[in-house]
Amino acid sequence: MSFGPGKEDFTAARIRASLPSFLIVWLGVVLFLVFLLFFLKRQLQTAEIQDVEGRLAAYLADNPVSGLLDISRQPKEAGALRGLSFIRFVKSGEQILLAEDGSTPVDFHRLAALDPKTSGVWISLRNPEKHGPWTITAQALSGGLRVQAGKEAGPYGLLYDRLVAGFRLAAVGGGLLALALALACVKRSLAPIRKVESDIAAILTDGRLLLPEEQADKELTDLYGRLNRLLRHNRRLIGEMQASLDNVAHDLRTPMTRLRAVAEYGLQADADADRLRDALSDCLEESERVLSMLGIMMSVAEAESGTMHLHREEVELAASLADIVSLYEYVAEEKKIGVRSDLEPGLWILADRTRIAQVWANLLDNAIKYGKENGEVVISSRSDGEDVVIVFADDGIGISTNEIHRIWERLYRGDRSRTQPGLGLGLNYVRAVIEAHGGTVEVESELQKGSRFRMRLPRLQPESEAIRLRSQMSGA
């Protein structure tokens, strides 16, 4: 089995990550080369044109001309053209071309067709727009006479061509180098991620529980520290869930065995329809009991492990308590117990409305269940600093000192309570939900005198105008 990205994925990711830096470096190299080439070209061409212009100026200084007629008297000896390949004089459509015999491959036909104003470096005589071996200068002399002189480009043209070829190679080579550099940099920068990946894979395969926190890099040590905290937290949650699951399985064994016994008893009844019906209704009752036990136990397990999902909203405490009092009106009446409310208006809490109502219901149900006939239950709520305090007080059977610490346990039922229906899960749920809301619950009790369940919950400060208005309205 393999965990995490494979080697190929990683290589592809590395290449992808390298591309931007590679392009930046490579473009930088190419731009630099292009700039250098441009600069060199300008320098070489300036040198060439200055050379041709200098030679022409020297020729004209030695051989001043004022008209085409003067030119027939120009010297014809070797070297008279000062190293120029040709000199061309043009006036009103007529022209004279001077070239040294046999020394240059001057194509007179092409020269004769050349525009007398054409000048520049590395001009092709075949196609003046294109790069060629000629450097030509042109200038106007007096009397409408124009002179044009040219020279085959010297070694600079060739040098430039070689430089272009060399730079092309350098661009390709630079590209490869930039790619290699970018890959190396990215490999280096991805190395910690690769290490994290392999250490995590090792945890999953070797069964190691935590990441090795001693690392060369401080950042990696911090990261591993945090990841280990997360792993410990998750392991604790899983442990708690496992424990809850074990408890639920254990606690359900008894009712399930009972259910099975009832079913077996029913099967033995053969054709006795009444017995069968009784068995079936017992089964139904028992299975409902199991289902509600399961629901409550799961909620408590969620609350205890910190995974209970609370739909918190602003709840007006007095209204929420009054709702439950009216719900239990008939039950209390039946037991001849009076329920008195002493509720401070305008107190708000941020709570899961349904769950908090279940808490009140459990407490009132107990107070009535374990209360005395003709007794009284008092429910009060008031603010206390940053909190609200809610008390359910009854004058019923009370709880003995050796039982009082056990009443919060799952499935615990007091000895004297067995005659009353119940699952022994109510108070367990009450405490889990109150604590999930950031509150506390405690009990004081005296046998035969009664019990007081006192809860403290964070009060919602009436900051928002809406709450203030609602408080005023409910207080009015």
Q: What is the binding site for ligand ADP (CB under 6 A)? A: 362, 366-367, 370, 394, 396-399, 407, 412-414, 417, 422-428, 451
Q: Which residues contact 327 (CB under 8 A, 6 or more apart)?
A: 361
Is residue 392 packed enough to be buried (19+ CB in 10 Å), middle (13-18) or exposed (0-12)? buried
Least distance to ligand ADP, CB of residue 465, Å: 40
Question: What's at 102, amino acid-wise?
Answer: G
Least distance to ligand ADP, CB of residue 438, Å: 22
348-352 and 376-384: which strand pairing? unpaired
Least distance to ligand ADP, CB of residue 379, Å: 12
Between 45 and 362, CB nearer to ligand ADP? 362
CB 417 within 8 A of CB 404: no
- N-to-C CA span, the chain: 69
Backbone angles phi, psi at 278, to 5 degrees: -60, -45
Distances (CA, A) of 313 to 43, 391, 437: 81, 22, 11
Question: What's at 155, amino acid-wise?
Answer: P
Token pair in block for residue 367 = 């107070």
Between 25 and 393, CB nearer to ligand ADP? 393
211, 215, 221, 226 alpha-carbon torsion, rounded to 10°: 0
Between 168 and 449, CB nearer to ligand ADP? 449
Least distance to ligand ADP, CB of residue 313, Å: 26
Least distance to ligand ADP, CB of residue 439, Å: 18
Helices and strands (H and E) in the chain: how many? 11, 12
Between 163 and 367, CB nearer to ligand ADP? 367
Q: Which residues pair with 38 in a beta bridge?
A: none
Least distance to ligand ADP, CB of residue 334, Å: 17
Q: Which residues pair with 99 in a beta bridge?
A: 86
Least distance to ligand ADP, CB of residue 371, Å: 7
Provide the CB-side half-sphere exposure for 416 (13 A, CA): 14
Question: What's at 399, amino acid-wise?
Answer: I
Between 106 and 368, CB nearer to ligand ADP? 368
Between 147 and 441, CB nearer to ligand ADP? 441
Least distance to ligand ADP, CB of residue 421, Å: 7
CB 397 within 8 A of CB 382: no
Between 407 and 432, CB nearer to ligand ADP? 407
Between 23 and 325, CB nearer to ligand ADP? 325
